[in-house]
Structure 1
Amino acid sequence: MTRSNLIGGEMLNWSDLHPVDARPPAAGPAATALLAAALQPRDSVLIAGPHAVDVITAVAARVTSVDLLLRSAPDAEEIAELLDDTKGQVFCGALDRFGADETYDVIVALDGLERLGGPDTPKLTWTEALARLRSRLAPTGRLLLGAQNSFGVERLIQPAITAALPRDEDWARDVADTAPAGIKPLQAALRGAGVEIAQTYAVFPSLVEAQLAATSVRGLAAVAAARSVAARNAGPTLMDPYRLVLDATAAGLGSDLAPAWYFVGGAERPGDAASTSPSVLPEGAVPTGSGVLLEEHLLAALRVDDQATLRRIIPDYAAWLGTGGAGSPDNVILDGTSYRLFGEAQDGDVVTHLTRFARRVLESGSRQPWPAGGDPQALTARLASMAGITVTEEVSASAEVIRPMGSAEQLATVARLADELAHASARAILFEGTVSGIRRSLPYRVGHAVLNPARVIRRRVKRLLRKVRR
């Protein structure tokens, strides 16, 4: 029977499970998948820090004994009642008051170490907190640790105003120092504490909603990561989240700029944790096999004005849709000359899917060989014509202007529009000067008089009549 024990340093009027103005607890399918891969039925487990209820129950369902260390008294009571039929205890208080002598086969701290203390906890650095948890590991135990990246993609995409609004939980940081900045310093700190790292995962889009965790962020895994980040940042951003993640992974910075990380390690011997841990969590989140996302292939052609590639690929894609394929370029994988789905099928004809692609092109502010700031209907009509499809007036009747998602892409589009306008204005001035010069030339006037005798005669008659009236 699970019991709740107050050990000191507890927070009586605070909840991490149901926050009002604070960060939610660690959660997500990637967290659940990691636990499913790491836990064994006979393991004794300590869950340290706030974790979502479904994560806690997933652990309790897999092992025979589970203890919890929580700082929130209401959360401790709720979890103790929820796990009434589970062997274990709930310890409510700060990590520095956790004086139990028991060691554990697995310690789960996927939320990190920063929320293991309260406002009245003496200064406890991240390294000291790690050492205290490390001391609770059995000689062959395993540590599942999460850590936030202090310079992840959020720093590059979130508007500055959001970073200037602290939450209720952001009290003085001398309560518990944050994790070392950067993945390499973190790994060094873990090794310095005697934790041998078996596996490191880049987590997207955050610890509190871990949708994807991957040991290598490249290829189709990068696309899945970019999607999760973009879905979490649908509002105004400094840069387009989707493109930023893909560009970072293309530069080899996918893991370095990940919003967070999971570390799988052992006290003395990591054992076979590296071989048993999947490379992607949850498994199946990233399609297997080779190939590139069709959208990325088409965007690459647009950026360099490679219309030959567009005129080759778009008819092939339209033919694939005609044979029963169902997917827009953003969820279709191109592998040589074959196509396959990335995710769920999407209904619609060729024009519908090309319209979706056109919107994504304009939202990303991507370079294209046609005038900037266009509407998706006009771009769709151009792309559809490459497959021999004429977009009817009914489809393209309502012109809609799409703004790029990020402020940086908006500024780039404005700059390109200004450049195009300047070139158009220069050409108009040149044309006007050329026409004016032609009109003043003698050959033009002679030709004009010869080709327009009636106009010349009418002018002379009017002149004579004016003289007679005088």
Structure 2
Amino acid sequence: MTRSNLIGGEMLNWSDLHPVDARPAAAGPAAAALLAATLQPADSVLIAGPHAVDLITAVASQVTSVDLLLRSAPDAEEIAELLADTKGQVFCGALDRFVEDETYDVIVALDGLERLVGPDTPSLTWTEALTRLQARLAPPGRLLLGATNSFGLERLIRPAITAALPRDEDWSRSVADTAPAGLKPLQAALRDAGVEVSQTYAVFPSLIEAELALTSVDGLAAVAAARAVAARNAGPVLMDPYRLLLDAADAGLAKELAPAWYFAGGTAPSILPDGVVPAGSGVLLEEYLLAALRVDDQATLRRIIPGYVTWLGTGGGGSPDNVILDGASYRVFGERQELDVVGHLQRFARRVLESGSRQPWPAGGDPHVLTARLASMAGITVPEDDSTPAEVIRPLGSAEQLATVARLADELAHASARAILFEGTVSGIRRSLPYRVGHAVLNPARVIRRRAKRLLRKVRR
């Protein structure tokens, strides 16, 4: 029977499972998939730090015994009651007070090491905390460890604005410093501590809602990760999260810039959760079309868009952002979208404008005009809609907005220069001798013609 034990350093009026002014516990389908793939029925497990209740109950249902180390007294009581019929104990307190001699086959610390201590712990660095956990592993033990990236994508996506008052969990103390900054220093620290890491996963979009854990972030895997990051970072951003991650993947930096990582020992799958990234070759149709737009390759656009429209006519149900182009064939990536042909093209046009991507046509266009231009490449005429005003879509990120403004300013400067050149040309023609002679010859004829018209009106009256 599971029971709660106070070991010292516990936080009596605090909850990591139900936080008021702090981040929630580690959770997400990727975390659940990693646990399901790693744990074995005969394992004894220690869950260290705050983890979502569904993860804890999933572990308890998979293994022989499970102990927990939590700093929050209310959380410890809640979990002990929830696992009343499970073999194991709940230790409530700080890691530096955890002096039990028990060793475990698996230690799960997917939330990281920072929340294994409270304000009463005088000094405990990240490396020391890792050493203490490592000492609890029974050979050949398996450690599942999470770590937040202090210089991840969110540092580039959102401004570093610090509130005037720190959050409740940001108390001033010099204990349990954060993990080493960067993937390589983290891996080096794990090696120095004797942790043999068999798999390193890039976690998206965060440890508290881990939807994806990928060993490599490229191709279609990068697209899946970009979707997760974009969904997490809706609202005003410095840079478009979706495009930023795909650009990082193209540069081979997506794993280093991931919001967080999992480090696992033992046998573990390569992609979590399984099936999120589609198998097979190919490229996202949207990326293929955007690449053509950036280099003014209208020949490719006029070749691909008719083929895509034909595929839609045969029952294909996907916009370019969830359709994979593989040679001359198409397949849906994710859920089908019930839109007509123009609707799919309009969705692509909106995403082009939101991304601030360069295109061969004037910047700042509305989606209806761009949709009509793309549809015309497949022989489809999109009627004008005079009932609603033209919609102007701003790029999502501030950087993309500034680039669009710069492009608009450049186009305006070129148009102004052409207008000045035209005015100068017209002025020169008016001052030329042939123009003055022609004007002098034709002007009397115009006067006679006007007078004749007035006389005819009088006669008719």
* TM-score normalized with structure 1 length: 0.94
Q: Distance in 1 between matches of 2:44 and 2:87?
A: 10
1:304 aligned partner:
295
Name the structure 2 match of 1:171.
171
CA contact (8 A) 1:377 1:396 kept: no
After superposition, where does 1:9-408 map in structure 2 within 5 Å? Answer: 9-161=9-161, 166-265=166-265, 270=266, 273=267, 277-394=268-385, 397-408=388-399
Task: Tell me the amino acid that sits aligned with residue 316 of structure 2.
Answer: G
* Greater CA drift, 390-399 or 285-294: 390-399
SS for the counterpart of 1:107 is strand
Letter aligned with residue 204 of structure 1: F
Shift of 1:164: 7.0
Once the two structures are superposed, the pairs formed by residues 415-434 of structure 1 within 5 Å of their partners are 415-434=406-425
Distance of 2:386 and 2:51 partners within structure 1: 49
Report the equivalent of 1:465. none
CA change 1:26–1:164 in 2 (3 A) is farther
Amino acid at match of 2:32: T
Instruction: Supply the distance in 2 between the matched residues of 1:448 and 1:376 (Cα, whole angstroms).
Output: 47
What letter matches 1:430 in structure 2?
Answer: L
Alpha-carbon offset, residue 459 of structure 1:
10
Structure 1 residue 172 displacement after superposition: 2.4
Q: Given that residues 284 and 325 in structure 2 are in contact (C-alpha distance below 8 angstroms), is that contact kept between their aligned partners in structure 1?
A: yes
SS at match of 2:86: coil
Q: Judge which range, 205-214 or 436-445, deviates more.
A: 436-445
Residue aligning to 1:468: none
Misfit runs of 4+, over 6 Å? 458-461
- Kept in 1, the 8 Å contact 2:68–2:90? The answer is yes
Contact 1:378–1:396 (CA<8 Å) still a contact in 2? no
Unaligned runs of 5+ in 1: 462-470
SS of 2:128's equivalent?
helix
Code of the residue aligned with 1:95 in structure 2: it is L
SS of corresponding position for 1:160: coil
Would the aligned equivalents of 1:2 and 1:90 in 2 still touch at CA under 8 Å? Answer: yes
Distance 1:395 1:55 in 2: 54
What is residue 467 of structure 1 aligned with on the other side? none
Deviation string 1:373-393 (CA, Å, 9 cap, x unpaired) is: 111111111001001000012
Q: Secondary structure at the match of 1:289?
A: coil
| Aligned twin of 1:447 | 438
Matching residue's letter, 1:432: E
Alignment partners' CA distance in 1, 2:66 and 2:36: 15
Structure 2 counterpart SS, 1:12: coil
Cα offsets for 1:266-318 (capped at 9, x unmatched): xxxx4xx1xxx211100001001100000000000000000000000000000
Q: Secondary structure at the match of 2:123?
A: coil
Q: What residue number does 2:4 align with?
A: 4
Once the two structures are superposed, residues 213-252 of structure 1 have per-residue CA deviations (whole angstroms, 9 ceiling, x without a partner) of: 0001000000000000000001100000000000001100
1:131-185 superposed Cα distances (whole Å, 9 cap, x missing partner): 0000000111100000000100000001232677632111225121100011111
| Alignment partner of 1:436 out of 413, 427, 442 | 427
User: SS of 2:197's equivalent?
Assistant: strand
User: Quick one: which amino acid aligns to residue 132 of structure 2?
Assistant: R
Determine what percentage of the aligned residue pairs are the same residue.
Answer: 85
**Pair 1:163–1:180, CA change in 2 (3 A):** farther
Distance 1:226 1:70, change over 3 A: same
Q: CA deviation at 1:398?
A: 3.7
- Whole-Å separation in 2 of the counterparts to 1:134 and 1:149: 21
1:67-115 deviation per Cα after TM superposition (whole angstroms, max 9, x unaligned): 0000000111111111111111110000000011010000000000000
Q: CA deviation at 1:445?
A: 2.1
State the 1:433 CA deviation: 1.1
* Cα shift readout 1:319-371 (whole Å, capped 9, x = no counterpart): 00000000000000000000001100001111101111111111110000011
What secondary structure is seen at the aligned counterpart in 1 of 2:114?
coil
Shift of 1:397: 4.4
Q: Distance in 2 between matches of 1:164 and 1:204?
A: 29
SS in 2 for 1:286: coil
Kept in 2, the 8 Å contact 1:326–1:345? The answer is: yes
Q: CA RMSD in A?
A: 1.6
For residues 411 and 305 of structure 2, the distance between their equivalents in structure 1, rounded to whole angstroms, comes to 27
Separation (CA, whole Å) in 2 of partners of 1:332 and 1:162: 40
User: Is the 2:119–2:173 contact (alpha carbons within 8 Å) kept by the matching residues of 1?
Assistant: no
**Shift of the alpha carbon at 1:453?**
3.4
SS at match of 1:90: strand
Q: Matched residues in 1 for 2:338 and 2:274: separation? A: 26
Sort the Cα spacing of 1:323 and 1:173 in 2 relative to 1 into closer, same or farther, 3 A: farther
* Secondary structure class of the residue paired with 2:224: helix
Which amino acid in 1 is paired with 2:73?
A
d(CA) in 2 for partners of 1:57 and 1:378? 54
Q: Deviation at 1:457?
A: 4.9
> Is contact 2:152–2:257 with CA below 8 Å preserved after alignment?
yes
Unaligned ranges ≥5, structure 2: 453-461
SS in 2 for 1:383: helix
